[in-house]
Amino acid sequence: MHVAGSTLLRRLKMLRRLDAFDFFGSTKVPTSFMATDIARHDGRALDIAALTPSRIDGAVLQQPCAHYNLVTAAGQSFHHGEAAGAALSVTQPYDNKMVGQSIHNGTTRYGSDAWKPIGDTFALQPLVAANVRGGAVYSNAQVAANLGTWPAYKYLGEAGVVAAANAWRGRYLARRSLATDPDHLFVSNGVGRGGTSITALIPGGAVWGRFTSYCAQMKALADREGKTVGMSAYLWDQGQADSSGHMTKAAYKEHLATLRSGVNEVVASTFRQPNPPAFLLSQMAGVYTTNDLAISQAQLEFARETPGVYLIGPDYQYTDAISGGHLRANGYRNQGLQYGKVLYRLFELGQNWRPLEPLAIYGRGKEVLVTLHVPAPPIVFDLPYRGAAQVADQADKGFLVTDAAGANPVLSVAIVGRATLRLVLARDVVGGASLWHGRNDISAGHGFVRDSDAMPASDAYEYIADSGMPAEDNIPALVGKPYSLANWLCGFVEPIMLV
């Protein structure tokens, strides 16, 4: 039986309110967590995660039943592959489409808010990745030949939505034993703008017209052909500008609610579709995070609290520039495959989705016990990449505890169950305690915990010589190997219950 999101939240809150006797089986309060306590706690976390796929959050999503089914990306620079360095997905393996010569918007960055295709003709073409600058498409060889004048980071390149649509499409066709399905095509484009606050991307904002005009033009194209169109997925990747601008968690959540309502209203009125699209977010992480984690926590909470909204996980684990920041071509494609994995679970398997995130956090003496929602147990420690190398390991694994007495550093972290961590602190934890993960000042926004999801990726890591890809992208440990689709621990700040 499926449980609504509000009911699930109440149950999780009840779990956190369990008193010492109920949870630990004793009225005594020892100074550390016993093995029997940990096993009981770990088992409950595993039970919750095992039930997640069968729980529907109350949303009825728009299935890809139209002639043209939109998988639309939006946000700022990450959504359209800024500074990717190259285009990797240059052939279409299935029958996916895009409008124009790339997924990108041909409107100048700070010009009109109307959407127009690259190449100016609003017509469908095979969905592929492309390098774009100034409204024109450049091959990888052209990018490489022009590096002295225009560095590769000046181009828009491999965008995650290409891999997202392809990953979903491949499994969509396989489940139906089809080579192609021309009556139900996927169409993908990007409708956002780099370096832009969410306030400009929501209804009433300076860039909102890119989304509405794109939808209107898609409807006009379908009408001319006597076909139907609908939107099944809206992929949101944003938050960096608002993190640096120190927007509050409450404000960002309010803007997300406005955005989602606006998207649902536009597709309902324009396409006359009965149900909303799935709204997928990638959690902003890495060097763009701030020490208050306001945007990251807002994204986590919005997905928890809102039916039909799904957080695919953080973005710090994907390969990026050596200085951090923007992803590289492989990083964007890896992220797109994560979007595609979640779309497959939602639409093809009819499952619910939650990322690797905290369920309950308990403090006792100098210890903190953390149980996690683990999509594919067990949890393991690992090192994400930054540039050409994996980041250096940290004893605190990116965690910090604060309480009424101030910061309480984490001295060590141990995996004590398939879904449970035990942290040892510098001193006893006291009232008003919170656990932080992925703060900029602790780990540059990175984490070191992932699950064991072994779902095969449909693409492998590539290095293309004599392209716009920098030498640091040539990572022997990754080249030629399928991307990992393991789920990494989200950034968060959550209260600690003392027991």
**185-200: pLDDT as tens digits:** 999 999 999 999 999 9
Least confident of 74-88, 234-248, 316-330, 459-473: 316-330
Q: Amino acid identity, residue 405?
A: A
Taking phi first (over 0 means left), then psi (-120 to 50 degrees means alpha), and beta for anything else, what does residue 174 get?
alpha
pLDDT at 107: 79
Architecture of domain 5-57+356-498: Sandwich (2.60)
Q: How high is the pLDDT of residue 11?
A: 47
Q: Are 231 and 187 in contact (CB under 8 A)?
A: no
E strand or H helix at 39, and its extent?
Answer: helix 35-51
What span, in angstroms and rounded, lies between the C-alpha atoms of 188 and 277? 14
pTM of the entire predicted model:
0.93
> What was the pLDDT predicted at 120?
84
Question: What pLDDT is recorded for position 59?
Answer: 85
Contact by Cβ (8 Å): 308, 61: yes
Residues 335 and 92 sit within 8 Å (Cβ to Cβ): no
User: Can you give the pLDDT at residue 61?
Assistant: 96
Q: Which pLDDT score, from 0 to 100, does residue 56 have?
A: 75
CB 489 within 8 A of CB 413: no
Question: For residue range 134-182, what is the model confidence (pLDDT) as tens digits?
Answer: 889 999 999 999 887 888 778 999 999 999 999 999 999 999 999 999 9
CA-CA-CA-CA dihedral for 479, 80, 354, 233, to nearest 10: -120
CA separation for the pair 71, 90 (Å, rounded): 18
Average pLDDT over residues 10-38: 59
Give 293-325 pLDDT, tens digit per residue: 999 999 999 999 999 999 999 999 999 987 668
Q: DSSP for 106-157, please give it.
A: -S-TTS-SS--BTTS---EEE----EEETTEEE-HHHHHHTTTTS-GGGSB-
> CATH number of the domain at 68-348, please?
3.40.50.1110
Average pLDDT of the chain is: 92
Q: Which residue's structure tokens are 């039909």?
A: 308
Token digits of residue 390: 């994996």
| Residue 29 banded pLDDT, cuts 50, 70, 90 | low
pLDDT in tens, 81-109: 999 999 999 999 999 999 999 999 987 66
- Greater confidence (389 vs 233) lies with 233
When pLDDT is averaged across residues 348-373 and rounded to a whole number, the result is 97
Question: In this structure, are strands 389-390 and 385-386 parallel, antiparallel, or unpaired?
Answer: antiparallel
Q: For 382-433, what is each residue's pLDDT tens digit?
A: 999 998 899 999 999 999 999 999 999 999 999 999 999 999 999 999 999 9
Name 51's Cβ contacts closer than 8 Å, sequence gap at least 6: none
Task: Count how many residues are written for the chain.
Answer: 499
pLDDT of residue 388: 84
Report, as an integer, the average pLDDT of 455-463: 97
Would you say residue 205 has pLDDT above 50? Answer: yes
Q: Confidence band (pLDDT; 50, 70, 90) for 10? A: low
Domain segments of the chain as ranges: 5-57+356-498, 68-348
Q: What is the pLDDT of residue 490?
A: 98
| Type of residue at 207 | V
In sequence order, what are the beta bridge partners of 369?
362, 422
In the prediction, which pLDDT does 110 show?
Answer: 56
Return the minimum-mean-pLDDT range out of 11-20, 308-317, 456-465: 11-20
Averaged over 471-483, what is the pLDDT? 95
The model's confidence at residue 3, banded by pLDDT at 50, 70 and 90, is: very low
In the predicted model, is pLDDT for residue 115 greater than 80?
Answer: yes
Phi, psi (5° rounding) for residue 347? -95, -40
User: Which phi-psi region, left, alpha or beta, contains residue 327 (left: φ > 0; alpha: ψ -120 to 50)?
Assistant: beta
Helix ranges (DSSP H) in 234-318: 240-244, 249-271, 294-305
Check residue 324 and give its pLDDT.
66
Range 39-66 average pLDDT: 94
User: Once rounded to an integer, what is the mean pLDDT over residues 460-482?
Assistant: 94
